[in-house]
Structure 1
Amino acid sequence: MRHLVLVLGDQLDPGSAALDDFDPEQDAVWMGEVAEEATHVPAHQQRLVLFFSAMRHFRDRLRERGIKVHYHALGPDPAADRGADFVTLLQADVPALAPQRLVVVEPGDWRVQRRLETAAAALGLPLEQRADRHFYCSREGFRDWARGRKGLVLEYFYRHLRRHYGVLMDGDQPAGGAWNFDRDNRETFGREGPGELPPAPSFEPDATTREVIALVQARFPGHPGDAAAFDQPVTPEQAEAALDSFIRHRLPAFGTWQDAIWTGEPFLYHARLSAALNLHLLDPRRCVEAAVAAWEAGRAPLNAVEGFVRQILGWREFVRGVYWLHMPEYAGHNALGHEGALPACYWDGDTDMACIADAMRSVLAHGYAHHIQRLMVLGLFAQLYGVHPYRFHEWHMAMYLDAVDWVSLPNTLGMSQYGDGGIVGSKPYCASGAYISRMSNACRQCRYDPRQATGEGACPFTTLYWDFLDRHAGRLRGNRRLQFQLRNLQRKPEEERAAIRRAAAALRERLGAGA
């Protein structure tokens, strides 16, 4: 064998660089489902179905092209596994296959990359890592852009890529005369709610997916979620259909309502394409091109299209760049010194806080919550509570279908928990229950009052918000974006601040820890 091409579970791209110059007479592909990735944190059942089904469909597609694929599939009996982790499986197979070289697209996970390098060295084989063409910006390209800058600012990087690729540009100026339209994208539904919503696309499991569902139910019955409810895209064709549905039915209203929350409506106008994107079932360029074409044809307003484009061309590329620029040290950051475990409700959804209960219903049912629920409900509460930022990241990796390390870590440890001390975001995203009351209807259904920090009906968000500012006032005093909040804290009498500290301590004791 000349090349043994390693295809990782989040690199299911038919046009992958790993398959460049592939010779069916001399080369083969190797893929493996591994138990370690499913169990080092108790992964959501639907997350397991997504990865294993998408991998098996990709395997079958390669075989239809006449490509030999060596594939390790998990079975219901762990004793039948040839190894618990990716590297052990690879080291067991390579001697018999006897390739001259291992070829892989650069992994999205720093840990996987280092383990592959170590394994290749132990096997005495060269490991050729090819650039991942899925992304607009290469690792080296981001490093070049970041060189010499005092700080990494998404807005400047986003503008750089808009100019470079000519996306939503009018000559050298942004289309519509502005780089972003955030001011138009923060509307709330009001008391009347969102009204009738377009149906979310759903994909009936085929025989391969049903086989995986049965496997997950048999082997991982105690994991969160319900494998039987899985209905997500597992092929490029299904991912394209999901994109088409979003562009036609939800993109026109996406911008205006992208930050709004409504209980019992987990999807609203959101695309829910990130899982397909992160497994490389869907090309980000297709998403951007389709959205821009909808604007040019008058089928979607500019504020909606720009907001969608910014999530893909801007934020997604930015966090990948941050990840590879700062790893492996990034994973160890804990700027606020938080050491707490997650409250138990993050695993079972059992809580009387209406906003968290609603968000967790979506996470448990679908392995999904939209970005405001992630950042300003579940993420916010974990930060105020004092959860260790890496533990929050591990939870995110376990519970969300779209979570892969390069995108999850900067979003959770950095943006959500401020564990990186300001590399991704310039301030902690801290807010009281008033924010949730403004953006959703959850507080109307809740026994807690978002205006109260102490007392029987005090909102846990509000209690912990003031406690957070009190605990970190010294550390955050130099952050100009928090001066207003810190001045409000200073106006509170010491006896009130002491009462808030006591209430926060009692709240942490009552909520307990789940992991």
Structure 2
Amino acid sequence: MSSKTKAVVVLGDQLDLNNPALLANPPKLADVLMVESPVESTVVWVHKVRIALFLSAMRHFAQELRNAGYTVHYRSLGDTGQHSLATEVANLCKQHGYTSIDMAEPGEWRLEQDFLTLAKSENIKLRMLEDSHYLCSRAEFAKWASGYKQMRMEYFYREMRKRTGVLMEGAEPAGGKWNFDADNRSAFPKAGPGDITPPAFFEPDEITQTVFAEVEANFPGHPGTLKNFAWPVTRQQALKALDAFIENRFVNFGTYQDAMWTNTPFGWHSLVSSAINLHLLHPLEVIEKAEAAYRAGKVDVASAEGFIRQILGWREFMRGVYWLDMPKMREDNHLQAKLDLPKWFWTGNTHMNCLKDSIGQTLDYGYAHHIQRLMVIGNFALLAGLVPQQVEDWFLAVYVDAVEWVELPNVAGMALFANGGRFTSKPYIASGAYIKRMSNYCAGCKYNPAEKTGDKACPFTTLYWGFLDQHEKMLSANPRTGLMAKNIARLDEAQRQALRQKVADTFKNLEQL
């Protein structure tokens, strides 16, 4: 039994000494509880790299807590059996005599409910503290959202810029515009991306190597491979990764952030999202370093604004709508999609080069950038009418930076239009022509992106036109998609029948595409 009656619970995505529960409870007041629950790695069929990243980062942080003077009761995979995380915390409280728990509010609705249930059933005093890792609290976002019939990230982002003073010149935005998205959409040159400065990666240390062995032993059938693992697992590594991006890669990030190229998994991207989501980096320090690079003339305003918008705007916005709309968001299926996820989502074995490359690198590294996720994988899932919950589970399973509060609204709301445009102004759909424009994926592919019917028709193009046909009324009523609807209206009845037959054949043969 401990001499203390209070414990601090630190979850696997709250690895920060400035965690508000830790700041409120120095070592003399409370002990720390950390749990590796196998259940958390099997809620969905989690990628081995994602499991290894969380476990390694947690074990490194437990050492950091001990160095700071805390008594840490840590339950690793071999200690917990098949207990849920909350159940194992309850067991630890009984074992050591803790009657109260402090913790930062969880990032996942399910876990929050689990801990609220635990507190009630075990008669434990539970205090959830507002997580200072974010720049907009749940309450502040809900208050902002109450003023809008339709939530839009752009309006929220401008408010955040004004509130924080980031990229501002007095009352005006730096560079004279709030948003430079139109300047950040270039494809790589036709000859290819050329030499790209590699990101900072880190050789796995003894702790991480031990984690690898345990992941292989406990989750042998899970997707992915650990052979390419090199993600930051400590704050020191995360800071090095951030600095390496700012100094060596940021300069070309903005221009080519949407570009895709075969066997180019990282492009000019920062690769710090997993570190931010584990709380190894605070979003504000990342934003400040990006703005400092702009102020020093190292990057142009378009690159700086595009990067900062993803963190200060979209990231905070996603968290806000997640907590505003859960648990309904998880069940939404506005378009009544009903087809099962093809098996090749777990192997990458498809004839479509774009999906073969995007899914293949996902399985190799646990990573794909936002356009690969949204406009290749998500676009296909939307056009093919795949069940949203199956797609959401896949995205949560395979990416190292996937935590439900950010993954679910991005997939359900933005990629799949599953909530009917609750915070997006249109479905994000595109034909094979977009993929051809932004990549080299179409070169040598079995399919022709210019054809929507016929033997060589690109499934993206076929399904895009099929989506227009099926949802013509909805798209016609939306000013942002009205032109798309006019295009489908130009097809005569014979052309429409041929298209519908090709769409039906494509749906029937999803597994063979």
| Superposition TM-score tier, normalisation by shorter sequence | over 0.9
Q: Distance in 1 between matches of 2:80 and 2:327?
A: 30
Query: What residue is the counterpart of 1:27 in the other structure?
Result: 30
Query: What residue is the counterpart of 2:188 in the other structure?
Result: 189
Native 8 Å contact 1:344 1:513 kept in 2: no
Query: What residue is the counterpart of 1:54 in the other structure?
Result: 57
Aligned partner of residue 509 in structure 2, secondary structure: helix
Q: Distance in 2 between matches of 1:4 and 1:431?
A: 51
Aligned partner of residue 445 in structure 1, secondary structure: coil
Percent identity at matched positions? 47
Query: What residue is the counterpart of 2:244 in the other structure?
Result: 245
Query: What residue is the counterpart of 2:121 in the other structure?
Result: 122
Letter in 2 for 1:349: G
Query: What residue is the counterpart of 1:411 in the other structure?
Result: 410
Native 8 Å contact 2:44 2:397 kept in 1: yes
Q: Distance in 1 between matches of 2:52 and 2:171?
A: 45
Q: Distance in 2 between matches of 1:465 and 1:176?
A: 37
For residue 512 of structure 1, report the CA deviation from its aligned partner. Answer: 2.8
For residue 18 of structure 1, report the CA deviation from its aligned partner. Answer: 0.9
**If the length of structure 1 is used for normalisation, what is the TM-score?**
0.97
Native 8 Å contact 1:250 1:271 kept in 2: yes
Any idea what the Cα deviations from partners look like across 1:437-476, whole Å, max 9, x if unmatched?
1111111121211110111110000011111121222343
Native 8 Å contact 2:185 2:257 kept in 1: yes
Query: What residue is the counterpart of 2:14 in the other structure?
Result: 11
Q: Distance in 2 between matches of 1:14 and 1:246?
A: 24
Q: Distance in 2 between matches of 1:113 and 1:193?
A: 46
Any idea what the Cα deviations from partners look like across 1:62-91, whole Å, max 9, x if unmatched?
11111011111013xxxx634431122122
Q: Distance in 2 between matches of 1:168 and 1:22?
A: 35
Distance 1:326 1:513, change over 3 A: farther
Query: What residue is the counterpart of 2:385 in the other structure?
Result: 386
Letter in 2 for 1:4: A
For residue 228 of structure 1, report the CA deviation from its aligned partner. Answer: 3.2
Q: Distance in 2 between matches of 1:4 and 1:261?
A: 47
Query: What residue is the counterpart of 2:44 in the other structure?
Result: 41
- 1:31-430 matches, cutoff 5 A: 31-75=34-78, 81-430=80-429
Native 8 Å contact 1:349 1:360 kept in 2: yes
Native 8 Å contact 2:379 2:415 kept in 1: yes
Native 8 Å contact 1:275 1:401 kept in 2: yes
Paired residue total: 510
Distance 1:350 1:474, change over 3 A: same
Q: Distance in 2 between matches of 1:123 and 1:243?
A: 42
Letter in 2 for 1:382: A
For residue 513 of structure 1, report the CA deviation from its aligned partner. Answer: 9.6
Q: Distance in 2 between matches of 1:168 and 1:21?
A: 33
Say if 2:424 is the partner of 1:433. Answer: no
Query: What residue is the counterpart of 2:501 in the other structure?
Result: 502
Q: Distance in 2 between matches of 1:353 and 1:453?
A: 14
Say if 2:448 is the partner of 1:449. Answer: yes
Q: Distance in 2 between matches of 1:223 and 1:83?
A: 17
Native 8 Å contact 1:186 1:256 kept in 2: yes
Native 8 Å contact 1:41 1:395 kept in 2: yes
For residue 219 of structure 1, report the CA deviation from its aligned partner. Answer: 1.4
Aligned partner of residue 232 in structure 1, secondary structure: coil
Point out 4+ residue stretches in structure 1 off by more than 4 angstroms: none
Any idea what the Cα deviations from partners look like across 1:359-380, whole Å, max 9, x if unmatched?
0121011100000000000000
Q: Distance in 1 between matches of 2:479 and 2:333?
A: 21
Aligned partner of residue 104 in structure 1, secondary structure: strand
Q: Distance in 2 between matches of 1:416 and 1:87?
A: 32
Native 8 Å contact 1:436 1:443 kept in 2: yes
Letter in 2 for 1:208: I
Q: Distance in 2 between matches of 1:199 and 1:242?
A: 11
Native 8 Å contact 2:350 2:512 kept in 1: no
For residue 229 of structure 1, report the CA deviation from its aligned partner. Answer: 2.3
Native 8 Å contact 1:213 1:228 kept in 2: no
CA RMSD, aligned part only? 1.4
Native 8 Å contact 2:150 2:422 kept in 1: yes
For residue 24 of structure 1, report the CA deviation from its aligned partner. Answer: 2.5
Aligned partner of residue 481 in structure 2, secondary structure: helix
Q: Distance in 1 between matches of 2:14 and 2:345?
A: 29
Any idea what the Cα deviations from partners look like across 1:157-209, whole Å, max 9, x if unmatched?
11101011100101100011111111211111231111111012110001000
For residue 316 of structure 1, report the CA deviation from its aligned partner. Answer: 0.3
Native 8 Å contact 2:39 2:82 kept in 1: no
Distance 1:346 1:436, change over 3 A: same
Aligned partner of residue 444 in structure 1, secondary structure: coil
Native 8 Å contact 2:459 2:506 kept in 1: yes
Q: Distance in 2 between matches of 1:45 and 1:311?
A: 27
Native 8 Å contact 1:83 1:89 kept in 2: no
Aligned partner of residue 369 in structure 1, secondary structure: coil
Query: What residue is the counterpart of 1:511 in the other structure?
Result: 510
Say if 2:488 is the partner of 1:489. Answer: yes
Q: Distance in 2 between matches of 1:232 and 1:19?
A: 25
Aligned partner of residue 456 in structure 1, secondary structure: coil
Letter in 1 for 2:383: L
Native 8 Å contact 2:204 2:229 kept in 1: yes
For residue 92 of structure 1, report the CA deviation from its aligned partner. Answer: 2.0
Distance 1:508 1:236, change over 3 A: same
